[in-house]
Structure 1
Amino acid sequence: MALAIFDLDNTLLAGDSDYLWGQFLAAEGLVDAEEYANENVRFYRDYHAGTLDIDAFLRFSLRPLRDHPRATLEALRARFVAELIEPIMLPAARTLIEGHRAAGDTLLIITATNAFVTAPIANRFGIEHLIATLPAEENGRFTGETAGVPSFRDGKVTRLQDWLAVHRQDLAGSSFYSDSHNDLPLLERVEHPIAVDPDPRLRETAAARHWPIISLRN
């Protein structure tokens, strides 16, 4: 079975779940709305510019998980997914996923967004395997730190290699769908890299390397 790998934000979703989660927390009063909104925008711009300090971003984005009880967070997450995520789950993304499922491929989402936010989203797509940045936990609460390597840029390659070893799979026949130039390290590793509604830098690279460029939005 070949491996079909999907980025999540702005690929299968018509938006960024991490950014939207921050907006949701601000709207619910769990974080200082003005401060959080400003930092959220700054990090989002850095991500698109390719200058994101992933460690600084994770300290920022995981802080609300540290500061609130797990039960409160889980209740908010359920509303977040229903209200903000389900409306941006692209129908064409579902069709793409189901095509790979019908072909017998192993389906995997790999995302830099943390696993607390993304696990229920992967479930909504019916995808069992998820590689996401892992928030560290202690005594049933999040610590605000990261467990292991964040699945960002080269970290996606590292985390995928670990996953392949555990599941005794390889990249023969593999595909990876992504919108972002930040995913070039992994796009260059798979047999079939596909640019999905790509940012300008990825579009330019994909065109130069004759990679397929597709849209799940149009």
Structure 2
Amino acid sequence: MAALRRLTQARRSSSERAALAGEAAAQAAEQALRERAPAPVDAGSAPTEQPAEPQPVEPQSATPPVDHPQGAAFFDCDNTILQGAAVFYLGVGLYRRNFFSRRDVAKFAWQQAWFRLFGTEDPGHIADAQHTALSLVAGKRTADLEEICEEIFEDIVAAKVWPGTRALVQMHLDAGQRVWLVTAAPQEVARIIARRLGMTGALGTVAEEVGGQYTGRLVGEMLHGPAKAAAVRALARREQLDLGHCAAYSDSANDIPMLSLVGHPFVVNPDARLRKYARAHGWRVRDFRTGRKAARIGVPAAVALGAVAGATVATVALRRKRR
């Protein structure tokens, strides 16, 4: 990780930062996996040969592969597994623990309402949340934040998981496949969600830390868009996975790079751009939403008013707490 930290300090292009973020996420995920697993009895000292760099493949079928030893499944988090965005749940949870101001959490509430209403990620909202979170955790102990994340997501995972997506996760697990969460949320949050769902592990955004404390910087960049694809590619190389026999699930057009890597891309609760792309490329679409299906062709005024009302209720609740 020291080498990754040094690279982070240098000026990097967008593609280089994405590759660095992917490698950092894969390295952290593999390390977490080793820490959980018992040491092998007959582990040799000779280094193993590195498998070839996995390449993008053409989709093979509309049925998820669940019987190949080198297959695995990769699941996006926000609106694919969780109803809403993990980073905003984290923000509200940290506010209740005096990490954020009332103004910050009111902004989180509006951004969450936007995400739930339109089913698409706003890059400005994401960058906003990232900047706020990094500035506030700088200098804090990593162990402390991990403990807080455990408390925050104890109930959220149980209450906010889409049952249909959870069934897909379980299908891969029951078949003995490795199942990974891939998310822009911090790796500390990603690991908790993955563990609660019985997943193999998680790829998440890696925040730089020195001596057990956060520096307020990221390793590379947030695990988003091309960085997710880089992380999946890096993990596949480390775990000797065959991407042609892997499946990936996401709701967002931002994850087209990740979905295009695997032989079995699946679209879950898609935004409009991804739905259109999926239809053009013959990808399977699964929608577990009910009330929000109307968003495919436009948002009725009543739904829009509901979102505004929700944001207003959140603001009123904050004012009452201040009194």
TM over 0.5: yes
Q: Distance in 1 between matches of 2:101 and 2:205?
A: 24
The answer for the alignment partner of 1:24 in structure 2 is 93
- The match for 1:147 among 203, 216, 219 is 219
Q: Which has the higher contact order (CA 8 A, sep 6+)?
A: 2
Structure 1 residue matching 2:199: 3-state secondary structure: coil
Bigger radius of gyration among the two: 2
> Which moved further from structure 2: 88-97 or 1-10?
88-97
Q: Which runs of 5+ in 1 are unaligned?
A: none
Residue by residue, what CA displacement relative to the aligned partner does 1:62-98 show, whole Å, maximum 9, x if unpaired?
2332254445433432221123332112332222112
Query: CA separation in 1, counterparts of 2:194 and 2:85?
Result: 14
Cα distance in 2 for partners of 1:42, 1:59 equals 14
2:170 counterpart (98, 108, 117)? 98
- Aligned with 1:59: secondary structure? helix
Alignment of 1:1-218 (within 5 A): 1=69, 2-38=71-107, 41=110, 48=120, 51-52=123-124, 57-66=129-138, 68-70=140-142, 72-217=144-289
Aligned equivalents of 1:180, 1:154: Cα separation in 2: 12
Cα distance in 1 for residues equivalent to 2:188 and 2:235: 19
Give how far 1:147 is off. 1.9
SS at match of 1:121: helix
Mapped to 1, the partners of 2:102 and 2:161 lie a distance apart of 26
Separation in 2, partners of 1:132, 1:96: 20
Kindly provide the CA deviation profile for residues 160-182 of structure 1, in whole angstroms up to 9, marking residues without a partner as x. 22112211222022111001111
Given that residues 7 and 178 in structure 1 are in contact (C-alpha distance below 8 angstroms), is that contact kept between their aligned partners in structure 2?
yes
8 Å CA contact retained: 2:92, 2:108: no
Instruction: Supply the distance in 2 between the matched residues of 1:75 and 1:156 (Cα, whole angstroms).
Output: 25
Q: Distance in 2 between matches of 1:87 and 1:192?
A: 28
CA shift at 1:157, angstroms? 1.4
Q: Describe the SS at the equivalent of 1:172.
A: helix
Extract unaligned runs of 5+ from structure 2. Answer: 1-68, 291-323
Residue identity in the other structure for 1:11: T
| Alpha-carbon distance in structure 1 between the residues aligned to 2:125 and 2:101 | 22
Q: Could you tell me how far 1:42 is from its partner in structure 2?
A: 5.6
Give the counterpart letter for 2:275 in structure 1.
R
Contact 1:6-1:178 at 8 Å conserved across structures: yes
Give 1:187 shift.
Answer: 1.3
C-alpha contact (below 8 Å) 2:205/2:223 kept by paired residues: yes
Shift, 1:45, TM fit? 5.8
The alignment yields a C-alpha RMSD, in angstroms, of 2.6
- Output the TM-score relative to the length of structure 1: 0.87
The one-letter code matched in structure 2 to 1:147 is V
SS in 2 for 1:201: helix
Q: Provide the aligned length of Structure 1 versus Structure 2.
A: 218
TM-score by length of 2: 0.60
Identical positions, percent: 27
Whole-angstrom CA distance in 2 between matches of 1:156 and 1:149: 11
Rounded Cα–Cα distance in structure 2 between residues aligned with 1:25 and 1:116: 14
Q: CA deviation at 1:55?
A: 6.2
Q: Amino acid of the residue matched to residue 4 of structure 1? A: A
Contact in 1 for aligned 2:74/2:182 (Cα 8 Å): yes
Higher strand share: 1
